[in-house]
Structure 1
């Protein structure tokens, strides 16, 4: 998939880094190092998308819908 998101990373005064994705509420994390924060953020994005997909599927049970792949 070629979708691009914007990661925001801030140094935490208490130590480490805090990171979130501007376009995806709920995708936020932290890490002791910049690379750990980045890696954790990739995982957070995957988890938020997986969770949102499961919630959508539950809400559509029994509904007559068209499901198709979207590449953005």
Structure 2
């Protein structure tokens, strides 16, 4: 699962790269619809990667 706490967008994918790609697309679509009023601040995105044995 990939989550952007600034916009609340969440996605998933078959692997980390796909999840990040999907999150980028979801965040872009969100920002097209609901533009953020603060543009001088960077977005912080957090991902969780499951630990494999």
TM-score (norm 2): 0.61
Runs of 4+ aligned residues of structure 1 deviating over 4 Å after TM superposition are none
Equivalent in the alignment of 1:61: none
Equivalent in the alignment of 1:24: 7
Unaligned runs of 5+ in 2: 41-53
2:18 corresponds to which of 36, 56, 59: 36
Structure with more relative contact order (C-alpha pairs < 8 Å, separation 6 or more): 2
* Structure holding more strand per residue: 1
Unaligned runs of 5+ in 1: 1-17, 54-69
Root mean square deviation, CA, Å: 1.5
